[in-house]
Amino acid sequence: MVIAGIQKLTLLDYPGKLACTLFTVGCNFRCPFCQNTQLIAGPPPATITQADVLAFLEKRRGKLEGVCVSGGEPLQQAGLDAFLAGIKALGYAVKLDTNGSYPARLKALVAKGLVDSVAMDIKSSWQGYAQAAGAQNLPLEAIEESVAFLLGSGVDYEFRTTVVAGLHTTADFENIGPWLAGARRYYLQGFVQSDAVLDKSLEAFTPQQMADFLSIVQRWVPAAELRGL
């Protein structure tokens, strides 16, 4: 496990729980709108040890309820199973943020009871996925396998798409809607430009445009909502 940082308290990253967020290093995607680009390539000069994290969580028992493991892409981490087992042993609920490109690892963690909730990014429709993910050799079949698993697994989950002008179109949401039909939760998130993102030319859609996209996906996912506007 290579852990770059910890947010010691969050009310947003694990909905419904008082939690902390861990940020792992490394990702197989290069999304042009990513806000955590410092975590993409490799270890920063200083990292946090697993022992440090578990010691922190031991001190926060009875105060925190959950741990959100984000990144980067956490499922790239070879020691993730044992690390999550240590967190679960302390009595915490675990939420995993993933891009969905490692379905076998995702399924294994859920089967072992090491993950209580999953948030999976839906970068775009199939037609726009490679551009939105910044990945040429994109494992679309793996993405589809993860989506199908979450839709039918019984584990708590949410899907989410960061919506970006220049990357997404009305047609994308007309295709995403049927793909995620019947999902429990799906969020369209507003894009925020910052110094961290890879492509400084990207822009956000207007609130009205976001509402229009939402109305499209709600035909298939009635529970879909806007987030971050």
Domains, the chain, in order of start with CATH, read 3-168 (3.20.20.70)
pLDDT above 70 covers a percentage of the chain that reads 97
Whether 1 shows a pLDDT value over 90: the answer reads: no
Q: Which residues of 18-54 are buried (b: 16+ CB within 10 A; e: fewer)?
A: ebbbbbbbbbbbebbbbebbebbeeeeeeebebeebe
- Work out the pLDDT band at 168, boundaries 50, 70, 90: very high
Q: What is the average per-residue pLDDT within 154-164?
A: 97
pLDDT at 136: 78
Output the pTM of the full model: 0.93
Span of 71-75, 97-101, 204-208 with lowest mean pLDDT? 71-75
| pLDDT, the chain, mean | 93
pLDDT of residue 44: 62
Mean pLDDT within 115-139: 93
C-beta separation of 44 from 31 below 8 A: no
Say whether pLDDT at 46 is over 70: no
**Rounded mean pLDDT of 69-95?**
95
